[in-house]
A and B are shown apart, each in its own frame.
Chain A
Amino acid sequence: MKSQSGKVMVVGGGIAGLTAAWELARQNVSVELVEKSCFLGGYSIGYTCKATDTCQQCGACSVEKMLKNVVGEPLINVHLRTEIGSLDRSDGFKISLKKNCEDMAEALVLKGFSRHNAPLYVRGKGVTEAAPEGAVDIEKMGSEGDINVDAVIVATGFTPFDAEIKGTYGYGKWENVITGLEFENIVRENAGIVRPSDGKRPEKVAFIQCVGSRDERLGNLWCSEVCCPYAMRMAGTIKHDNPDAEVSIFYIDVQNTGKEFPVFYEKIRENVRFVRTIPVDIYPTENDGLKLRHMAEDEGSPSFEEFDMVVLSVGLMPGADSKIVSETFDIPLTVDGFLDDSVDSGVFVAGTAAGPGTIAGSMAGAGKIAFDAVKYLGGAK
């Protein structure tokens, strides 16, 4: 292999950014990895394992593995709680970094998601009580100053759909209506499924698909690709934990999970009820229950059904910073508002910043981008 030199900035430390950084380092390119939050890993570092008797290939543990790789890699220099200030392209890329002061975690102690997060705990502003050992003050985190690099990879990720926009589902009003993202975190932190209102194991659970995606009225004309897979896998874990639980998935079209999907789908259909309709609204009932109204295709009139807990399968929306990033780095936005990944001027886009995708897909995409970036460095020299 030709020995390669050069330096690349990777913006965003989710699975896409981590993978891109690691692949660059493997090719002897040094990396400045800039992450806005206090922890590396993005959304997926907080996900739960969805194995039943067997691994369901959700990919969550791959993120853990990649984070371990990255923190052990001397060629990668990490800047936590840091944002891009400005960019000067007169000679390569001169980028100014600034601390991200948007969220001061007022009166909070933030906990990392992986043991490879360093620090493990961050003490927010104004915290008076003792924080766990090794906690770092949020004000002390963050990088400032100018850095010169030869190329930039943008991996600023997605934003989960804000479920409150779908007002009729009562998210934010009824405690036991949760999002898929909350499901991930609840299960991992509690080592099992419990519902928010009473910490009990739910016996009857509904998943509502396509919340925020495939929605013409919202103008969101894309399938988020990951919510059918995660909902089905979660449904599988609920049944595995509690074979008596009744789980229903309300859907438009079932999307595939990946390899061996026919076998997976057949198995899950033995245990989980699939209803092809998207529910209209949700009302609270006694005992923190929820009444769901839907028009099942085979019934004609509206039906009402009660559940202990409803999980909204929120989709992947363009990253919160996609506009700013688009302006700073001169990356066009797609019709859907994601970053256009076909740019080719020393600025590259990886992962869900460019559109919905899985962990596995983000990793493959980031590998490709790292390859392209190194090719660009070779050509630029």
Chain B
Amino acid sequence: MAETTDMIEVTINKDVLVIGCGAQGLESAEAVAAKGYKVVLVDDGDVPAPASADIEVMANTTVESLAGMTGDFRTCLANGSGRSDRTFGAIVVAPKYGLAPLNEAYGLALDDKVVSMTQMEALLGDAAFKKTLGQGEGKTIAFVSGFGQEGDPAATSRVLEAALTVQKLGNARAYIYANNVKVGARGLERLFTLGRNEGVVCFKPLEKPAIEQGDTLKIVINDPVVREDVALEPDYIVVEEEVVVGRANLDLAETLRIDTDLDGFIPSNNVHRFPANSNREGIFVASTLEDAPNVALRVADLLASGVKSVAANAAVVDETKCTICLTCYRCCPHGAIFWENGIAAISPVACQGCGICASECPMDAIQIGDFTDDALKADIEGAVASVSGTPSIVAFCCQNSALEAGEAAKAFDTELPQGFRMIQVPCAGKVDVEFIMKAFVEGADGVMVAACHEGNCKAERGSTFAKWRVEEIRKRLETIGLSKDRLIFTTIASNMAEEFSMKVRMFAEKL
């Protein structure tokens, strides 16, 4: 690895855009403002007045487009009164998700007796309604949850609170039909117990309850404890609600070029995004109230006093080689590539130095700061040359995972083959076909590409790119008369020293 630490100072815009004014959006705006930055808070609906006067609010406003880069994001904000172009150093996304009742999952239609959780909460906020519940023999309310979806502690908490409110009226009764009771959040087990002590009845049938919706309502379950059918004719049935992502959030993610998880929630399911990052530097995500101060910390880290010192050569495009094929733009997992004067340009602030672009560029037009092609080739030569007398194994190790595990394996003196050498790469996605072949040409007996487990790659797809390349080369090795087993791809986490050496030993034995 060559030592190159040319630093440049980049001016960063100190304004911050916060999108979404739910509780966590408001909190984020306040937290960022408290760090001394100017905040613009937009929402596609109404915006309540924030406490801090430093926050500019724009209601009924959407982000129509995003250009520019981290530190200099150029947005077009659109609302009824027109469009305005605004520039921001950082963006905070505080998505507001919707709720949809799952009555259909129970074969129910919503009416004045079958209501959603939100409706029941509103009703319970109404003193007149509450009075009717306690009148006469008192009304019976049944809550059904966990059969239309798995649910979560937030949903459980709402059911428990509402059931307790009903039960406490004295003359009304609350029944809960639940699958898994999601008590995995502070205070919920206690709340659940309190409810039961107050007389709330909780059934946990193994199957979804059968419900008849006619002139009267009827719920029948087979009670797993007494092993009998138990029927109830409640006055109200309250159906659970699911959280829905909604078109607006998906569109926003697309406009901002940030990843979502499988369910469409921002950001992707990856520990490297934790707690408040997206895949793009400078775009942060506040999903919960607790994320808000974390977002403010990350914003302050990035914007600092408006000038940032960054490596000048994190990734550099050679304009004489670039043929504007767009490959790098498409494959950069961190959205760090843009177009300038007709060629690809890389933002030194946004670039994470993973090197995927460099490996994918068909023109070899991109070089990565500390990991230039020349430097890596020199590393390969050095590695193979340093082994004599024993089989040599060259392992390209991702610095986020395998390199850590490998260094730990050495530090703790685990058993590693004598001829084992590691080559540090910024991400397995930087391991080119050329480097692997070079290792064989230099005389390596075995080559290993050691990456993060899928889903744990900081560059999201770097590990997958590496896997594909290895598969391709294994096929090619056969055609040039080498055994394909001399090359393997493996995945490992940074904390797994013993597993790392076991994997290396197993590879060495097979060679």
Interface residues of A (CB under 8 A from B): 1-2, 23, 26-27, 45, 47-49, 51, 53-55, 57, 59-65, 68, 111, 114-115, 120, 132, 188-192, 213-214, 216, 221-223, 225, 228, 253-256, 258-263, 265, 276, 297-298, 300, 335-336, 355-356, 360, 363-365, 367-368, 370-372, 375
Contacts and interface: CB of A to CB of B under 8 A. Distances in A.
Interface stretch (B166-174, B180-188, B364-372): B180-188
A363 B293 CA distance: 12
Interface stretch (B56-64, B70-78, B300-308): B300-308
Given A262-B263, A360-B275, A298 B224 contact: yes
B227 interface: yes
Nearest to B191: A221
Contacts of A48: 495-496
Given A115-B408, A115-B411, A2 B293 contact: no
A256 B152 contact: yes
Given A57-B269, A255-B184, 18 more contacts: A23-B297, A51-B453, A61-B401, A61-B495, A64-B495, A115-B411, A120-B412, A191-B499, A191-B501, A213-B189, A221-B190, A223-B184, A262-B150, A300-B227, A355-B186, A364-B294, A367-B290, A367-B293
Contacts of A111: 412
Interface string B49-69: 000000000000000000000
B273 to A, nearest CB: 10
Contacts of B265: 259
A363 B454 contact: no
Interface in B475-511: 491-499, 501-502
A65 B453 contact: no
A335 B317 CA distance: 60
Interface of B: 31, 34-36, 149-150, 152-153, 180-190, 193, 204, 206, 224-225, 227, 261-263, 265, 269-271, 274-276, 288, 290-294, 296-297, 300-301, 303-305, 400-401, 404, 407-408, 411-413, 452-456, 491-499, 501-502
Given A54-B453, A225-B185, A216 B31 contact: no
B356 to A, nearest CB: 18
21 contacts: A27-B297, A47-B495, A48-B495, A49-B499, A57-B269, A57-B456, A60-B493, A60-B495, A63-B495, A64-B495, A114-B495, A115-B408, A214-B189, A253-B182, A256-B150, A259-B265, A276-B224, A364-B274, A364-B276, A367-B297, A371-B296
Contacts of B455: 51, 54-55, 57
Please provide the 8 A-B residue pairs with the shortest distance between their CB atoms, ordered closest to farther: A371-B293, A55-B456, A255-B184, A49-B493, A55-B455, A367-B294, A364-B275, A115-B408
Contacts of A370: 297
B297 A1 contact: no
B300 A191 contact: no
Contacts of A214: 183, 189
A56 B433 CA distance: 29
B412 A115 contact: yes
A111 B414 CA distance: 13
Contacts of B502: 191-192
Contacts of B494: 61, 64-65
Given A49-B495, A188-B495, A190-B498, A57 B412 contact: no
Given A1-B304, A51-B493, A253 B183 contact: yes
A27 B300 CA distance: 8
B79 to A, nearest CB: 31
B495 A364 contact: no
A169 to B, nearest CB: 21
B454 A53 contact: yes
A225 B189 CA distance: 11
Contacts of A45: 495
B496 A191 contact: yes
B183 to A, nearest CB: 4
A228 B293 CA distance: 28
B41 to A, nearest CB: 19
Contact of B271 (A26, A191, A228, A360): A360
A188 B150 contact: no
Given A51-B456, A297-B206, A64 B404 contact: yes
Contacts of B456: 51, 55, 57, 61
A62 B227 contact: no
A260 B290 contact: no
B300 to A, nearest CB: 5
Contacts of A120: 411-412
A228 B413 contact: no
Given A1-B305, A54-B454, A262-B263, A363 B274 contact: yes
Contacts of B188: 223
Nearest to A44: B495
A264 to B, nearest CB: 9
Q: Choose among B34, B271, B412 the residue with the greatest number of A CB atoms under 10 Å from its CB.
A: B271
Q: Choose among B292, B453, B454 the residue with the greatest number of A CB atoms under 10 Å from its CB.
A: B453
Contact of B303 (A1, A225, A261, A356): A1
